[in-house]
Amino acid sequence: MRKMRLVSYFCRILIFCTLYPIFSVQALDKAQVGVGQSLNIKSWKTDSGSSVFFVNSQRLPMIDVMLDIDAGSRWDPSGLEGLASLVAGMLFKGHHSDGKIISEEEIGEFFVRNSIIRSVSTSRDKASISIRFLNEPEVIQKLGRFLQNVLSKPEFNESILARQKRRSLLALRESLTRPQQLALRNLWDKMYPDHPYGRSVTEQSLGNVSREEVQTFFRKFWTPERMTFSIVGDIEDRELESFLGNITNFQSKNSFSKFEEKLERQENFNYKKILPPVIFPLAETLMIDHPAEQSHIWIGAPMLARHQIEDIFPFFVANYILGGSGFGSRLTSEVREKRGLSYSVFSGFSLLKQKGPFFIGLQTGKQNTTVALKVVQETLTDFVNNGPDELELEKAKTGLIGGFALKLDSNKKVLMNLSQIAYYGLPLDYLDNWVDRIASVTKEDVKRVLRTYFVFENMQTVIVGN
């Protein structure tokens, strides 16, 4: 019977994947979301305090949900790095329902039986659960009740936790053999020496995670008021409100009643209510030996938070010109095309709740490390001091605007953008005005953000493989 359900599930997925490109192409007419079209985002709060952001889309008979929880790794207590990720990874490994335990296998069967696709991830800022399902009333009702139990009554089985910790340990050891991962790990540490953004999971921190710590973290951070729901799909408002009401109709502390008295008495000073501000350490260069054939060079510094939208749009343009556009960017021209020092060189930035980093990355032959680093530094210095010329500015704005429609050409992409608006508190018309905001960026705007945020005394450099 189980095999038959699996075959049925994968057949439905195959049909959906076959037809999806047709639906997507047909959806890109003027009546649908696109350049100059409004997303018409609706927002409200559930009775339990969760935030909801909804875009009604009838492109497909599907509903996409992104649940973002303010429970990312920045809340990991010192010495327990990796805890947030383990908590999120344990949620679909077993929970309580009607006096019995629903096992990991039964959870998997529920998703297969109802043709539901789900994934879980953890970043520095948040934990995220992504779910895609058919807009069938029966499926919606079942899923609402099911998720309420998952989010309110997880079991956190001791043996499964031990298995997850072993898997995380093996993944950590493997990652530490790769030069790029070594470089990024150390770059974050250098950029954020006194902030949780800079901490990374270690073998010791994984070993320190106990079932009680998992339960404590869950109780403190996986609460309805810390949850943000982003939804894109074909569903009526009233039905959606009922669905979300079912999911969030709980208080997480009720999940562990037999531990409650002990945990309420316990004062755990490891858990912070307010995170420290991002400081700007003085520039350093860290060199790490590695047997790789090439040197992996990374340069970076904290710069912008996600909510600083007045400066983000000029920054988009500046990054596009410097190294964010690939061929045609200044870094590619100077490092690859003129000197042949690297196959790939790029720039980018990560926008976070607090000041996220700007970075430059490249690989080069070990014998070229010093020369390549000098060329990158000179290119960056010239760009910061003098800004772009008019041709670069217009090409950058044209390129960014030309690619904007691709950000919204599927429900999944709309969901990812909606999730950014919802979780980071961006204006509801952020995407509606995106093209106009890029088009209005001037040369002086770019110069202003370059001179404001690029402080060379704070730029960190990590070289692995030298």
Which string of DSSP letters, residue by residue, matches 58-114?
-SSSEEEEEEEES-SGGGPPTT-TTHHHHHHHHGGGEEEETTEEEEHHHHHHHHHHT
How confident is the model at residue 8, as a pLDDT? 44
pLDDT average, residue stretch 436-450? 97
Residues in Cβ contact with 221 at an 8 Å cutoff, skipping those fewer than 6 apart: 69, 70, 71, 75, 84, 87
pLDDT over 80 (residue 224): yes
Instruction: Pull the structure tokens for residue 391.
Output: 């041709």
Amino acid making up residue 156: F
Q: What percentage of the chain carries pLDDT values higher than 90?
A: 84
* pTM recorded for the entire structure: 0.88
Q: How many domains does the chain have?
A: 2
Quote the mean pLDDT of the chain.
89
What 390-394 contacts at long range (C-beta under 8 Å, 24+ apart), as own/partner pairs, is 390/443, 392/321, 392/330, 393/317, 393/321, 393/441, 393/442, 393/443, 393/446
249 and 302 share one domain: no
Structure confidence by residue, pLDDT tens digits, 318-342:
999 999 998 999 999 999 999 999 9
User: Which tokens is 237 given?
Assistant: 């408002």
Q: Tell me, what's the pLDDT at 412?
A: 95
What pLDDT is recorded for position 250?
Answer: 77
How high is the pLDDT of residue 334? 97
Residue 300 lies in a domain: yes
d(CA 256, CA 36): 49
321 with 441, same domain: the answer is: yes
Residue 294 amino acid letter: Q
Residues 301 and 433 in one domain: yes
For residue 271, pLDDT over 90 is answered with: no
Residue 354 is given by DSSP the state S
Q: Which residues pair with 101 in a beta bridge?
A: 96
Please say if the pLDDT value at position 4 is more than 50.
no
pLDDT at position 263 over 70? no
Q: Where is 285: in which H helix or E strand? A: strand 285-288
- What is the average pLDDT across 413-429? 97
CATH code of the domain covering residue 292: 3.30.830.10
Torsion sign across C-alpha atoms 195, 201, 206, 207: negative
Decide which of 101 and 253 is more confident.
101
Q: Which of 239-248, 262-271, 431-440 has the lowest mean pLDDT?
A: 262-271
**Domain-located, residue 445:** yes
- Split at pLDDT 50, 70, 90, the class of 255 is very low
Of 234, 265, 296, which marks where a domain is finished?
Answer: 265
Give the confidence band of 249 by pLDDT, cuts at 50, 70, 90.
Answer: confident
Residues 64 and 211 reside in one and the same domain: yes
At 270, is the pLDDT very low, low, confident or very high (cuts 50, 70, 90)? low
CA-to-CA dists, residue 284 to 105, 300, 452, angstroms = 50, 11, 20
In this prediction, residue 282 has a pLDDT band, given cuts at 50, 70 and 90, of very high
pLDDT grade for 251, boundaries at 50, 70 and 90: low
Are 254 and 336 contained in the same domain? no
- For the segment 118-173, what is each residue's pLDDT rounded down to a tens digit? 999 999 999 999 999 999 999 999 999 999 999 999 999 999 999 999 999 999 99
Q: Is residue 292 part of a domain?
A: yes
Same domain, 134 and 89: yes
Looking at the fold, whether 245 and 307 belong to one and the same domain comes out as no
Inside any domain, residue 106? yes
Residues 372 and 249 in one domain: no
Per-position b or e across 98-122, b if 16+ CB within 10 A of its CB:
eeeebeeeebebbbeebbbeeebeb
User: Once rounded to an integer, what is the mean pLDDT over residues 269-283?
Assistant: 84
Q: What CA–CA distance (Å, rounded) separates 415 from 405?
A: 14
Ordered alpha helix ranges (H), 176-321: 179-191, 203-208, 211-221, 237-248, 257-265, 309-319
Q: Are residues 107 and 233 in the same domain?
A: yes
Measure Cα distances from 86 to 13, 76, 121 in Å: 29, 11, 10
User: Which of 236, 265, 294 corresponds to the end of one domain?
Assistant: 265
In whole angstroms, give the CA distance from residue 350 to residue 359: 9
Q: 260 and 309: one domain? A: no
Which pLDDT value is given to residue 273? Answer: 77
Give a yes or no: residue 138 inside a domain: yes
Q: 61 is in which domain, residue-wise?
A: 40-265
> Which residues lie below 8 Å from residue 32, measured CB to CB, with a gap of 6+?
57, 59
Q: How confident is the model at residue 390 (pLDDT cuts 50, 70, 90)?
A: very high
pLDDT of residue 37: 60
Residue 409 lies in a domain: yes
Residues 76 and 180 grouped into a single domain: yes
Is 277 a member of any domain? no
Using the Cα atoms of residue 26, residue 32, residue 35 and residue 40 in order, give the sign of their dihedral: negative
Residues 19-62: tens digit of each pLDDT: 333 333 233 333 333 454 678 999 999 999 999 999 999 988 99
In a domain, 25, yes or no: no
pLDDT in tens, 67-119: 999 999 999 999 999 999 999 999 999 999 999 999 999 999 999 999 999 99
- Quick one: 303 and 387 in the same domain? yes
